[in-house]
Chain A
């Protein structure tokens, strides 16, 4: 069974600080997506990474796909209260085309 482990589970930091959250697996994925989910809403796609080593930037958010396509990281610079939410990674399996979600990192930015 392919699993995506996200760490940390919970993170609470002050506004203005930097942070990195991780998404790890022992399996290879053909692509990986990051979603953000706010309370009472469904997840919303932030980015898709496809190539090993790929780096994508979305304003203050930097996403990286590991060289071996088994892991990914999300770095946020100068976090703001609006970044608060549940960050989910989702991998597309190489074997059976299934999309597997991690359990997420619940991020809280304190003003």
Chain B
């Protein structure tokens, strides 16, 4: 397996634009997590899915953020409209179980100007 695949690797967008981040988890992993990493706040869990169903979205900062998992092999994180304070590295991770080893993608570095 190629591991968790995220795209794009880098995204630069203007304030107010819609941004969509994409993730392909490892096949067979039932859990998918979206994290955001900044120097100030570290790695924060935004939302996680179990078997494509959102379980906990309490980490999603605002209504501007939304995430979907239409099938077991694809998830998106959308920010609309984007703001400069959304600039961060966004990671997707998948795992076999809730507390097991999380396999992270390489991340998407988002810059909102």
Interface residues of A (CB under 8 A from B): 30-31, 33, 40-45, 48, 88, 90, 92, 97-99, 101-104
Residues of B close to A98: CB separation below 8 A: 45, 56
**Chain A contact residues: over half helix, strand or loop, or mixed?**
strand
Q: In the complex the two chains form, is B43's CB within 8 Å of A88's CB?
A: yes
- The answer to whether the Cβ of B99 comes within 8 Å of any Cβ in the partner chain is yes
A selection of 19 A-B contacts at a CB cut-off of 8 Å is A33-B101, A40-B106, A42-B4, A42-B91, A42-B93, A42-B104, A42-B105, A42-B107, A45-B101, A45-B102, A45-B103, A88-B42, A88-B43, A97-B98, A98-B45, A99-B45, A99-B98, A99-B99, A102-B42
Most buried by B among A30, A41, A43, A104: A43
- List which B40-93 residues lie within 8 A (CB) of chain A: 41-45, 56, 91, 93
Task: Report yes or no: B91 in contact with A97, Cβ–Cβ below 8 A.
Answer: no
Across-interface contacts of B41 in A (CB, < 8 A): 103
A110 to chain B, nearest CB (A): 22
Complex interface: chain B residues within 8 A of A103 (CB): 41-43
Q: Which residue of A lies closest to B56 (CB)?
A: A98
Residues of A within 8 A of B105 (CB): 42
Q: How large is the interface on B (under 10, 10 to 19, 20 to 34, 35 or more residues)?
A: 10 to 19
Bound CA span A101–B37, Å: 11
Query: Contact partner of A101 among B43, B56, B103, B107, CB < 8 A?
Result: B43
Question: How far apart are B30's CB and chain A's nearest CB, in angstroms?
Answer: 14
Specify which chain B residues have a CB less than 8 angstroms from the CB of A102 in the assembled complex. 42
**A10–B104 Cα gap in the complex (Å)?**
23
Nearest chain A CB to B2 CB, angstrom units: 13
Closest to B44 in A: A101
A32 nearest CB across to chain B (Å): 10
Q: Is the CB of B99 within 8 A of A97?
A: yes
Q: Which has the most chain B C-beta neighbours within 10 Å: A31, A41, A42? A: A42
A99 touching B42, Cβ below 8 Å:
no
For the complex, what is the distance from the CA of A40 to the CA of B41, rounded to whole Å? 18
Q: Which residues of A contact B4 (CB under 8 A)?
A: 42
